[in-house]
Structure 1
Amino acid sequence: MKKLLVGIFLLNSLFSYAQKNNNSAILSDITEKVKNYYVDKETYKKVDSLFRSEFKNGAFNHLSQKDFAALLTQKLRTNIKDEHFFVKYLENYTPEKLGDEKEKEKLNNYNNSLENFGFETVQRLPGNIGYINFKGFASPESSEKTLAAAMNFIANTNSLIIDLRENGGGENGMLLLFCSYFFDQKTDLYTTYSRYNNKTDLNSTQSKVSGEKYLRKKIYILTSKKTFSAGEALAYFLQQHKLAEVIGEKTGGAANPVEHFIIQNQYLLLVPAGKITSLMNGKNWEHIGVIPDQEVKSEAALKLAHSKILKNILITDTKTELTIPEIKNLINKLEQ
Structure 2
Amino acid sequence: MMNARAALLVLALILSPLPAGIATAQAPADPPDIALDEAARAAVIDGLLEKIGRIYVFPDMAKAMERAIRDRQARKEYDAVTSGREFARILTAHLREVCKDGHLDVEYSAAVIPEDPGRRPPDPGDVARFREAGRRRNYEYRKVERLDGGVGLLQVDGFYPGEWAGDTVAAAASFLANSEAIILDLRQNGGGAPTGVALLASYFFDEETHLEDQFNRAENATRQYWTYPVVPGRKLANQDLYILTSGRTFSAPESLAYDLRALGRATIVGETTGGGAHGTTPHRISDHFRASIPFSRSINPVTGTDWEGIGVKPDVAVPADQALLTAHLLALKKARTRHADDPGLAGDLDRAIAGKTSELNELKASRAGPR
When the two structures are superposed, what TM-score results if normalisation uses the length of structure 2? 0.79
Are 2:113 and 2:284, in contact at CA under 8 Å, matched by a contact in 1?
no
Partner of 1:86: 105
Partner of 2:172: 150
- 2:86 pairs with 1:70: no
Partner of 1:186: 208
Partner of 1:120: 142
Aligned pair partner of 1:95 in 114, 120, 145: 114
Larger Rg, first or second structure (1 or 2): 1
SS of alignment partner, residue 123 of structure 2: helix
Give me the whole-angstrom Cα distance separating, in 2, the residues matched to 1:147 and 1:231. 15
* Distance of aligned partners of 1:314 and 1:82 in 2 relative to their CA distance in 1, 3 Å threshold: same
Map 1:137-286 to 2 at 5 A. Answer: 137-286=159-308
SS of alignment partner, residue 259 of structure 1: strand
Aligned pair partner of 2:50 in 32, 37, 48: 32
- 2:340 pairs with 1:313: no
What's the Cα RMSD here?
2.4
* Distance of aligned partners of 1:79 and 1:116 in 2 relative to their CA distance in 1, 3 Å threshold: same
* Distance of aligned partners of 1:200 and 1:99 in 2 relative to their CA distance in 1, 3 Å threshold: closer
Query: CA shift at 1:174, angstroms?
Result: 1.2
Aligned pair partner of 1:22 in 34, 40, 45: 40
Are 1:54 and 1:60, in contact at CA under 8 Å, matched by a contact in 2?
no
- 2:355 pairs with 1:330: yes
Give me the whole-angstrom Cα distance separating, in 2, the residues matched to 1:110 and 1:21. 42
When the two structures are superposed, what TM-score results if normalisation uses the length of structure 1? 0.87
Give me the whole-angstrom Cα distance separating, in 1, the residues matched to 2:125 and 2:95. 32
Query: CA shift at 1:160, angstroms?
Result: 0.6
Give me the whole-angstrom Cα distance separating, in 1, the residues matched to 2:200 and 2:82. 42
Paired AA for residue 85 in structure 2: K
Paired AA for residue 225 in structure 2: N
Query: CA shift at 1:222, angstroms?
Result: 0.7
Partner of 2:29: none
Are 1:127 and 1:321, in contact at CA under 8 Å, matched by a contact in 2?
no
Structure 2: 5+ residue stretches without partners: 1-33, 362-371
Give me the whole-angstrom Cα distance separating, in 1, the residues matched to 2:218 and 2:178. 46
Aligned pair partner of 1:45 in 63, 74, 82: 63
* Distance of aligned partners of 1:114 and 1:25 in 2 relative to their CA distance in 1, 3 Å threshold: farther
* Distance of aligned partners of 1:183 and 1:27 in 2 relative to their CA distance in 1, 3 Å threshold: same
Range that drifts further, 270-279 or 70-79: 70-79
Aligned length, in residue pairs: 321
- 1:273-293 deviations in Å (ceiling 9; x for gaps): 122111112121122221211
Query: CA shift at 1:52, angstroms?
Result: 2.7
Percent identity, aligned pairs only?
Answer: 31
Query: CA shift at 1:260, angstroms?
Result: 2.2
Paired AA for residue 184 in structure 1: D
Query: CA shift at 1:233, angstroms?
Result: 0.7
Query: CA shift at 1:322, angstroms?
Result: 7.8
Give me the whole-angstrom Cα distance separating, in 2, the residues matched to 1:150 and 1:91. 41
Give me the whole-angstrom Cα distance separating, in 2, the residues matched to 1:100 and 1:223. 33
- 1:181-228 deviations in Å (ceiling 9; x for gaps): 111121122221111121111211101112322111111001112211
